[in-house]
């Protein structure tokens, strides 16, 4: 196993530990802390903001392979996903497939000179 | 069991296909991707860890960011446990079962369990969630393999599934005012913070935007 592989596994296990900690804490605290306390509200807000930041960054300023696509393509594909999602009564699978498909089409269309 | 083989499984499978391709495109190995799905079992944190891995962030940054992203597992566990607990059963089973708690299986169990005899609830939840987990492992593998074999444009589409999935999840559920504000502030701050500090930007954005959204909506509630 090469070094980047090993580092990847370490990163993955750190993420897994960070997640399981909360589940175990939930079991321990169950019955002692109210699930509707303000602390839990605050943590929920931070989690939402973090995810929204991630989504915005992945669409506007992606790192890695999505950099090969244009900003316009990504925005149009995101728009298609939203349109299909709501047109088909909030069908998540259809929206996700439409968004991915739209980006794939736009990417292959713009890659050809 | 049969209930899992429906819409929830399909949604999870599709989003984990996206995760699998993200894993490959971020130059992580298939075992790392499968391990992430099996051991973390909460997609948002998994994507955060892979994305931060790609920016070269430190282990501490990744740990804190994933912990903040997946912190909702604690209140979810706390609300599900009173439903599935049977006093005479060993406590370690609850800790083991709690690993399977994630949004989809949790939501279905919260809905179904009250109508069942208490002794059946935990086995039902475990079977249901384990089925979802197997489908997600399969999705991770399919996404990883597909990403290396399909034309580049298609694998870009597969990676794009990740942000689209969460964007649609958010748009489908905009009831809580504090969370909507957190979404708007987080999305607005993210690009600037990313340019200032690529590896810390996400974490700072989450804490600042989330904290601000929480503070602003609390003040309004009191007035």
Q: Are residues A24 and A47 in the same domain?
A: no
pTM more than 0.90: no
| Residues A110/B27, Cβ–Cβ less than 8 Å | no
**pLDDT for residue B1 is more than 70:** no
Supply the range of the domain harboring residue A45.
Answer: 36-61
Cα–Cα distance between A85 and A99 in angstroms, integer? 9
Cβ of B199 under 8 Å from any chain A Cβ?
no
A6 and A23, same structural domain?
yes
More confident residue, A72 or A41: A72
Cβ–Cβ of A54/B166 closer than 8 Å?
Answer: yes
How confident is the model over B70-86, as a mean pLDDT? 85
| In chain B, where the domains are located | 2-160, 174-223
A29 and A40 fall within a common domain:
no
Question: What is the distance in angstroms between the Cα of B33 and the nearest Cα belonging to chain A?
Answer: 8
Interface predicted TM-score of the whole assembly (ipTM), two decimals: 0.87
Distance (Å, rounded) from C-alpha B200 to C-alpha B107? 32
The answer to whether residues A16 and A55 belong to one domain is: no
pLDDT confidence bin for B56, thresholds 50/70/90: confident
Residues A110 and A79 occupy one common structural domain: yes
**Residues A86, A104: one domain?**
yes
DSSP assignment string, B143-178 = HHHHHHHS-HHHHHHHHHHHHHHHHHHHHT----HH
Closest CA to B217 of B170, B188, B186, B182: B182
Tell me: do A90 and A110 sit in the same domain.
Answer: yes
- The reply to whether residue A57 touches residue B99, judged by beta carbons under 8 angstroms, is no
């Amino acid at each position: 196993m090469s070094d980047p592989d090993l580092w990847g596994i370490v990163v993955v296990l750190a993420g897994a530990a960070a997640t399981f900690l909360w589940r175990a804490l939930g079991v321990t605290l169950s019955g002692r802390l109210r699930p509707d306390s303000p602390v839990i509200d605050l943590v929920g807000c931070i989690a939402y903001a973090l995810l929204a930041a991630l989504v915005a960054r992945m669409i506007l300023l992606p790192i890695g392979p999505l950099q090969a696509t244009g900003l316009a393509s990504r925005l149009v594909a995101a728009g298609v996903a939203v349109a299909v999602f709501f047109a088909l009564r909030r069908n998540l699978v259809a929206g996700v497939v439409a968004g991915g498909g739209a980006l794939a089409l736009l990417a292959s269309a713009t890659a050809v000179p | 069991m049969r209930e899992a083989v429906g819409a929830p499984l399909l949604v999870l499978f599709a989003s984990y296909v996206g995760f699998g391709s993200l894993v490959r495109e971020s130059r992580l190995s298939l075992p790392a991707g499968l391990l992430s799905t099996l051991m973390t079992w909460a997609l948002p944190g998994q994507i955060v860890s892979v994305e931060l891995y790609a920016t070269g962030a430190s282990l501490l940054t990744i740990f804190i960011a994933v912990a903040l992203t997946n912190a909702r597992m604690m209140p979810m566990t706390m609300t599900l446990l009173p439903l599935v607990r049977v006093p005479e059963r060993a406590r370690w089973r609850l800790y083991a079962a709690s690993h399977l708690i994630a949004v989809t299986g949790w939501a279905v169990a919260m809905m179904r369990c009250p109508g069942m005899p208490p002794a059946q609830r935990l086995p039902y939840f475990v079977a249901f969630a384990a089925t979802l987990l197997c489908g997600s492992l399969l999705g991770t593998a399919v996404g990883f393999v597909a990403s290396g074999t399909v034309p580049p444009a298609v694998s870009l589409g597969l990676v794009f599934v990740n942000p689209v999935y969460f964007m649609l999840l958010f748009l489908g559920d905009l009831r809580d005012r504090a969370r909507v504000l957190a979404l708007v502030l987080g999305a607005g701050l993210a690009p600037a913070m990313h340019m200032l500090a690529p590896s810390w930007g996400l974490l700072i954005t989450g804490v600042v935007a989330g904290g601000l959204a929480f503070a602003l909506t609390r003040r309004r509630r009191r007035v």
